[in-house]
C-alpha cells in the first residue's frame, strides 16, 4: 500500500529512533508474510515504542484489533498513522471501513465521500462499492442500489457491485430477483463461498430448506470455517427442527371479563418448504356471573407457491357454555369446525399482496359462548417496503355473523425505522356494522388513529421490544375519546434449544374488546424448545 511505503520512508528520514522503529517494522513485515501474526504484532508494538506514529506498525496492529472486534482501539491507531500521511487513500479507506464495522455509518460515509471527491477516476470504484455497502447496512437500500448501478454502468462485470446489488434486492424482499442475481454470479464462479451463502440465505427466507442445505454444503466444501456459513447452517437447523411452544396467558377488560388459556403448539418444515403444524388450546373465560370453557385443536399446512406461499388451517373448537340464567341448567356443549386459508404473493420489489378467508365461533368472552354465533371473515392486505427503513401496510376486510349481521373493516399503517432499534409511525383504522346488536359491540361506525413509537433489541441471549401509541377514537357519533396502547416483550435464549418469553400489554381502545370495554390488559409466558 502507498501509505505503508511512504510511512516507512518517513521513518528512515527522521533519525536513529525512527531507524530502530523501521527495523522492527521490517521484522514484523517478514513475520506477517509468513502468517505468524502474533509474532509480527509483537514486533510492530516494539516499533511503536520507538515511534508512536509509525504508519505500517499502527496499520497492522489496527488490523489485528479490528479482526478481534476491538474497533475503537483500531481506529485510535489508524488516526495515529494518519497524522503522518493524512491524505493517504488506503488509510482513509480502512478508517471508513472500520467505522462502518462499528455501525458509525454517518462518519464512515463522510470519509468515503471525501475519497470519491478526491479520486473520481474509475480505479477508485471499489470505494463507491464500499460506500453503497454501508448505505445498505444503514437500511438506505434505494440509495445503495443506485450506488451499485453507478459502478456497474462503467464496469458491468464488477463482482462486488453485482453481489451487493443482489444483497440489496434480498433485503428489499425481492427474493426472486436476488436469487437470479446470485445465480448469474455462480454461473461465472460456481465455488464462490459468499455467493453460495447469500443464495442459501435467500432460499432459507423462501423456506426452501433442501435448496438452502445443498448450497451450504457446496460452500462448506470450499471453506467450512466461514462465519456466515456457520450462521446459515444454524438458521437452517432451527427452521428444520421440531419447535414446540407451551404458553400460559391471561387477559382482563374493564367489564371484568377474565380469560386464561394454555396453549401447546408444534411445527416443523419438511422437504423444500412444506410447513406442518399442530396446536392444542384450553380456555377458561369468566365474568361476574358465569364461566365458560373451550377446547381447540388445529392442524396447519404451508406451501411455497410462486413468489409467495399458501397456508391452510383446519381445526375444531368444543365449547362448554355457562347457564343462560344463574343457577339454571347449562346448554349442551357444541363443536364448531374452524379453518383458514390464505395466500401471499410478492408482486414487485418490496410489495406483497395477500388474501385470506377464515371461519370460527364468536367465543372471546364467557357471555358470548351461549349465543352460538359463528363468524366468516375475509380480508385483503398489502405490504409495501418503500425503503429499507420505511414500510406501509393496508387492510380491507369484512365479517359475516351467523345472525345475519355484517361488519366491514379497514386499516392503514406506516412505520419508519431509525438507528438503535427505534421506530416511529402512525396508524388509522375503522369499522362499521350493518346492524346494531345489544349482545356484542356493534356500532354503526368506529374510527381510531394513533401516533406510535417502538424500540427493539435482538441479541444472542436477550431480546426485548416495547411499542406504544397515543391517539383518539370515536364511536358512532359520540365525541372523540383518548386512546392509547402499550405492549412489550422480553425473551431469554439458552443455547440454540431453549427460549423463554414474557409478553404484556394494555390498550384503551374500545375495539380491543368484543363488548367495547374501554380498557383491556394481557399477560403471557411462552416456553420454547427446539429439537
Q: What is the pLDDT of residues 360-394, one digit of tens each?
A: 999 989 989 888 999 999 999 999 988 778 999 99
Per-residue burial over 345-362, b if 16 or more Cβ lie within 10 Å, else e, is ebeebbbbbbebebbbbb
Q: Is residue 513 scored above 80 in pLDDT?
A: no
Question: Which pLDDT band, with edges at 50, 70 and 90, does 18 fall under?
Answer: low
Report CA-CA distances (Å) from 21 to 37, 65, 88, 114, 251.
18, 20, 21, 31, 71
CA pair distance 5, 12, nearest whole angstrom: 11
Average pLDDT of span 481-506: 94
Question: Which pLDDT band, with edges at 50, 70 and 90, does 16 fall under?
Answer: very low
Per-residue burial over 189-214, b if 16 or more Cβ lie within 10 Å, else e, is eeebbbbbbbbbbbbbbbbbbebbbe
Q: Is residue 503 scored above 90 in pLDDT?
A: yes
CA pair distance 409, 204, nearest whole angstrom: 34
Q: Looking at residue 205, what is its pLDDT?
A: 87
Average pLDDT of span 119-143: 91
Q: Which of 18-32, 41-55, 133-147 has the highest mean pLDDT?
A: 133-147
More confident residue, 38 or 161: 161
More confident residue, 121 or 506: 506
CA pair distance 16, 347, nearest whole angstrom: 69
3-class state of residue 499 by DSSP: strand
Question: Which pLDDT band, with edges at 50, 70 and 90, does 3 fall under?
Answer: very low
More confident residue, 518 or 449: 449
Q: Give CB contacts under 8 A, 24+ apart, made by 38-45.
A: none
pLDDT in tens, 229-282: 999 998 888 888 899 999 999 999 998 999 999 999 999 988 777 899 999 999
Per-residue burial over 363-401, b if 16 or more Cβ lie within 10 Å, else e, is bbbbbbbbbbbbbebebebebbbebbbbbbbebebebbb
Compute CA 301 distance to the chain's CA centroid, rounded to the nearest angstrom.
23
For the chain, the average pLDDT equals: 89
pLDDT in tens, 300-320: 999 988 778 899 999 999 999
In 431-531, alpha helices (H)? none
pLDDT in tens, 149-163: 999 999 999 999 999
Question: Which pLDDT band, with edges at 50, 70 and 90, does 6 fall under?
Answer: very low
Average pLDDT of span 276-305: 94
Report CA-CA distances (Å) from 161 to 133, 206, 320, 380, 392.
9, 24, 63, 37, 29
Average pLDDT of span 32-55: 81
Amino acid at each position: 500500500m502507498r501509505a505503508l511505503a511512504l510511512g516507512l520512508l518517513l521513518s528512515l528520514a527522521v533519525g536513529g529512533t525512527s531507524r530502530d522503529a523501521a527495523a522492527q517494522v521490517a521484522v514484523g513485515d517478514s513475520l506477517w508474510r509468513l502468517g505468524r501474526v502474533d509474532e509480527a504484532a509483537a514486533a510492530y508494538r516494539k516499533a511503536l515504542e520507538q515511534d508512536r506514529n509509525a504508519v505500517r506498525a499502527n496499520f497492522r496492529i489496527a488490523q489485528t484489533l479490528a479482526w478481534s472486534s476491538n474497533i475503537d482501539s483500531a481506529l485510535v491507531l489508524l488516526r495515529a498513522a494518519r497524522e503522518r500521511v493524512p491524505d493517504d487513500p488506503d488509510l482513509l479507506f480502512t478508517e471508513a471501513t472500520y467505522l462502518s464495522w462499528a455501525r458509525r455509518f454517518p462518519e464512515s460515509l463522510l470519509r468515503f465521500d471525501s475519497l470519491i471527491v478526491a479520486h473520481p477516476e474509475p480505479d477508485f470504484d471499489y470505494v463507491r462499492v464500499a460506500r453503497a455497502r454501508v448505505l445498505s447496512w444503514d437500511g438506505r437500500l434505494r440509495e445503495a442500489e443506485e450506488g451499485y448501478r453507478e459502478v456497474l454502468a462503467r464496469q458491468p462485470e464488477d463482482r462486488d457491485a453485482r453481489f451487493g446489488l443482489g444483497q440489496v434486492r434480498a433485503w428489499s424482499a425481492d427474493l426472486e430477483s436476488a436469487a437470479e442475481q446470485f445465480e448469474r454470479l455462480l454461473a461465472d464462479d460456481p465455488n464462490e463461498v459468499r455467493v453460495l451463502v447469500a443464495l442459501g440465505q435467500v432460499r432459507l427466507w423462501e423456506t426452501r430448506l433442501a435448496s438452502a442445505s445443498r448450497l451450504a454444503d457446496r460452500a462448506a466444501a470450499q471453506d467450512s470455517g466461514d462465519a456466515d456459513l456457520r450462521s446459515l447452517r444454524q438458521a437452517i437447523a432451527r427452521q428444520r427442527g421440531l419447535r414446540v411452544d407451551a404458553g400460559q396467558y391471561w387477559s382482563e377488560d374493564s367489564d371484568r371479563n377474565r380469560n386464561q388459556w394454555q396453549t401447546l403448539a408444534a411445527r416443523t418444515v419438511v422437504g423444500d418448504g412444506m410447513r406442518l403444524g399442530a396446536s392444542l388450546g384450553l380456555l377458561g373465560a369468566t365474568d361476574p356471573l358465569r364461566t365458560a370453557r373451550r377446547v381447540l385443536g388445529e392442524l396447519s399446512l404451508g406451501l411455497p407457491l410462486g413468489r409467495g406461499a399458501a397456508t391452510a388451517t383446519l381445526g375444531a373448537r368444543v365449547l362448554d357454555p355457562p347457564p343462560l340464567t344463574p343457577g339454571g341448567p347449562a346448554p349442551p356443549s357444541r363443536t364448531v369446525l374452524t379453518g383458514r386459508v390464505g395466500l401471499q404473493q410478492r408482486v414487485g420489489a418490496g410489495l406483497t399482496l395477500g388474501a385470506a378467508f377464515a371461519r370460527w365461533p364468536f367465543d372471546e368472552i364467557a357471555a358470548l359462548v351461549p349465543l352460538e354465533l359463528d363468524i366468516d371473515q375475509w380480508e385483503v392486505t398489502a405490504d409495501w417496503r418503500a425503503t429499507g427503513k420505511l414500510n406501509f401496510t393496508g387492510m380491507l376486510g369484512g365479517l359475516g355473523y351467523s345472525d345475519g349481521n355484517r361488519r366491514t373493516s379497514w386499516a392503514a399503517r406506516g412505520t419508519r425505522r431509525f438507528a438503535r432499534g427505534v421506530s416511529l409511525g402512525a396508524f388509522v383504522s375503522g369499522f362499521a356494522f350493518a346492524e346494531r346488536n345489544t349482545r356484542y359491540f356493534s356500532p354503526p361506525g368506529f374510527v381510531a388513529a394513533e401516533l406510535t413509537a417502538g424500540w427493539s433489541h435482538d441479541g444472542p441471549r436477550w431480546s426485548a421490544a416495547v411499542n406504544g401509541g397515543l391517539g383518539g377514537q370515536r364511536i358512532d357519533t359520540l365525541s372523540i375519546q383518548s386512546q392509547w396502547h402499550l405492549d412489550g416483550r422480553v425473551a431469554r435464549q439458552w443455547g440454540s434449544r431453549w427460549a423463554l418469553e414474557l409478553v404484556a400489554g394494555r390498550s384503551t381502545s374500545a375495539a380491543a374488546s368484543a363488548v367495547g370495554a374501554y380498557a383491556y390488559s394481557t399477560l403471557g409466558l411462552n416456553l420454547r424448545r427446539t429439537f
